[in-house]
Structure 1
Amino acid sequence: MPVPADRFDEIRRKWIARNQRTFIFQKRRSEILARQIRDRDTAATGARVDPADDDVIHPWYARPIKTSYAMFDAIILMSAAVLAPLGWPVGKAMSVRVVQLIPGELRSYPIAAFMWAAVVVGLPLPLLYEPGDSLVSAAVAPWLVAQIPAALLTAGIYGILEGWLAVDGARDWWPMRPAEEVDDIDFGFLQPDDLTGPGVFPTRRDAPPGDPSPIWRF
């Protein structure tokens, strides 16, 4: 199984671990990043890690709701599924696609860009929509239209949950990777050549003529 590329995994894992609070799905993200880091170190050094370290919390749909923490996670996930059943998967797909561009084309995840895009797209929608008399036009249609800004908002939220706030550039509009520095090479023909030829008359004697004013006089 190929090891995923390093996309600031250690920085993101540390940020998630320190800000996970009681969210079990955040603890799972931290454990997945830690496993990727160990797999990468094993491939580079050949060292064998403890198999117990590879145990990761099960995904949310495979976890029983036995604690208040698990119930709180379930409420969040069910609310997101009801409010944005289309925007959630679309936003997740957008998030995965953007992460593939890091660090090749982007130096970080554009959280600010997704958040502000959701605001810009979502605010004019109530002004542009006129509800009708039927239930479909009054409730269902606005709910469907709201999936567009919900997808952008979901992509931005995934950037926060994945720990990209710890990486420089996440608050920029579109954090492009800076161009690589290239050393200047002097090929010898970039500057004009000195085409001045030798002089016709000598400009300096081969031997000095002597002191014109000797110190001792007879």
Structure 2
Amino acid sequence: MNPESIDIVPYQKQDYEAVCKLLVESFKAKFQALVTLEDQDIQRLLMKVWVQDPNPSTMKQFVVKENQEVVGVLSLKWKAPSTSLPKTKPISWTPLVKQFGYFNVLKFWIGMHALEYTPAADECYIDHLAIRSSHRNQGIGRRFLAFAQQFTIESGFHVLTLHVAHKNQGAIRLYHKLAFEVEQSKYNALRHFGFKEPVWHLMSWKGTKLHSRREHH
């Protein structure tokens, strides 16, 4: 796939199942650290627990497709104005416990909760970025990040942020190449318990910094 020909398009409701499948494939090790379930059951559980309709005033998702199939997904979120707080659909826990088991559901919920992050008022946050394994190292991740940077500037945010596990050095190198810097590194007990990854970095990209670099060249 030629990076120049990659089209990033808005997520649509009919992409939901494909996106869940992609997330399970991309973050397989993390999900398997949480629950003792097969991939298909992890996908079913994710589809029951994960918010299906992101609030357009606080979150946007984008996908890359090849032959109508989703091969990449990017989710951006920001702080909700006090007048438009997102409405969350209540989850029916009893059938989930019956289907997947109490401890699987509990650990899954704790894991999802551990990944929650509330951006500041002037901050755009990459909630997740996932690419199908067969389409990695083809420039999609770099295109997604450049797209997120452009979205940040055009939407009037001052900073673009993301979390990355310390172990994921490949991703950290890519972020550094695109002018992201480590803002803070923290031990997170919930993420350690859930994902066996104790140290996480909050990385940030500031659009003005990139502009000033260009001006100096």
Which of the pair has more CA radius of gyration?
Answer: 1
TM value normalised by structure 1: 0.29
Structure with the larger helix share: 1
Bigger strand share: 2
Q: TM-score, normalised by structure 2?
A: 0.29
